[in-house]
Each structure stands twice: as C-alpha cells, then as structure tokens.
Amino acid sequence: MRDDHFEEDGQIISRASIERAIDEGEAWRIIQDGEKVGGAIVKVEGDKGELEILFTCPHVHSKGIGYAAWCEIEKTYPDVKVWGLVTPYFETRNIHFYVNRCGFHIVEFFNSHHPDPNDPDYNSREVDEQFPDGMFRFEKRMP
C-alpha cells in the first residue's frame, strides 16, 4: 500500500473509475518480452487528447517502459495538438515523470477551493477526504 490515498480496498484508482475511463477511451496493454507490465487508457476527440491512466508494474519502474509507452501513444495520435491529464498532488513520482521526462506543464491545481469543472462525479467532500492536498492538471502542447 502507498500512502493512505485510496478509493476502495487498497486501490488508488477504483475499478469503477477504470471501467469508466475504458468505456470513454481506448485501452492499451504494455508488454515487455511477452510479459504484461502495464497499461494506458487514452481518450481522443479531434485535436485534443486526454491520458486517463498510464501505469507500469512496480518491478519495472525506472526502466524507461512508461516513457516508451508514452512516446508510442504520441506517435499513434499525430493529430492531437494538446494532451492533458490529472494526477494527485502527492504523486511526486508522476509529477517528475510527466514534467521532466514527457514534457508536460502543470497548468492548474484542483482543490476544495478550486474544483475540477470537468469532473462529472465531483463531490468536494469525497475529493477532500481522498486527495486532501488536491490534484494537478497537466498539459502538453505538441509542435
């Protein structure tokens, strides 16, 4: 278990959240040497893309697999001009990855005083309990 920021039964992202992301986007599986080592869910509408979820198994962290997967996603959607994503404030590993490795910029900070207007399930009490420090919104503008 990492920290105490879980939606349900020790999960950082609930099954319901993952299923909703899959229903609205396209799911990818990350495979290395025949082994399933991660996955991604992206949603693309015209020239805008949203990275809903990108994860790798802990035993392959820091081996370039997440970055390679992100590069493939960018190549697959050459018409996307702006990519976006949201990640919890406490996920410093994610912040490093998206800003320093993938070239994203932090553009907004969602919290109890500034809720995410695009989150259809937003409930300030629940968000405050699960993510008391808030969520960062990232964007990457493509050349």
User: pLDDT tens, 61-76?
Assistant: 999 999 999 999 999 9
Alpha carbon distances (Å) from 127 to 2, 12, 97, 110: 18, 13, 23, 10
Q: Which CATH architecture has domain 15-141?
A: 3-Layer(aba) Sandwich (3.40)
Round to whole Å and give the CA distance between 77 and 114: 31
pLDDT surpassing 60 at residue 8: no
- The pLDDT of residue 6: 41
Q: How confident is the model over 87-131, as pLDDT tens digits? A: 887 788 899 999 999 999 999 987 777 777 676 555 544 544 555
Q: What pLDDT is stored for residue 91 in this prediction?
A: 81
